[in-house]
């Protein structure tokens, strides 16, 4: 990520959730369908890779109780 992109992201993160949602949708709308398909394929490939790592015992997994704890902490104490 370039420094100008990082600065833009930092500024965008100061917007309200609704404004970020609108901005995100506008950015997605500006991307061609072909590009979106590339993104979808990349995510599918990533998911397949992660599943493979889990099946081969190469992934560090956390118990659901710990994951819920992290989610609750993130909700209760969001980083701004």
* Per-residue model confidence as pLDDT tens digits over 53-74: 999 999 999 999 999 999 999 9
Q: What pTM value is reported for the model?
A: 0.48
Q: How far apart are the first and last CA of the chain?
A: 20
Please report the pLDDT score of residue 80 as a whole number: 62
Please report the pLDDT score of residue 53 as a whole number: 96
Alpha-carbon distance values, 35 to 38, 42, 53, 65, 66 (Å): 5, 11, 27, 37, 36
For range 4-20, the mean pLDDT: 93
Number of domains in the chain: 1
Question: What is the domain range of residue 8?
Answer: 3-76
Q: What is the CA radius of gyration of the chain?
A: 17
| Residues of the chain above pLDDT 90, percent | 75
């Amino acid at each position: 990520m370039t420094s100008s992109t990082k600065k833009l992201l930092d500024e965008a993160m100061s917007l309200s959730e609704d404004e970020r949602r609108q901005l995100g949708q506008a950015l997605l709308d500006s991307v061609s369908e072909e590009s979106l398909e590339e993104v979808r394929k990349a995510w599918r490939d990533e998911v397949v890779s992660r599943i493979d790592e889990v099946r081969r015992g190469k992934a560090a997994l956390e118990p659901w109780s710990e994951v819920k704890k992290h989610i609750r902490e993130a909700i209760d104490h969001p980083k701004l």
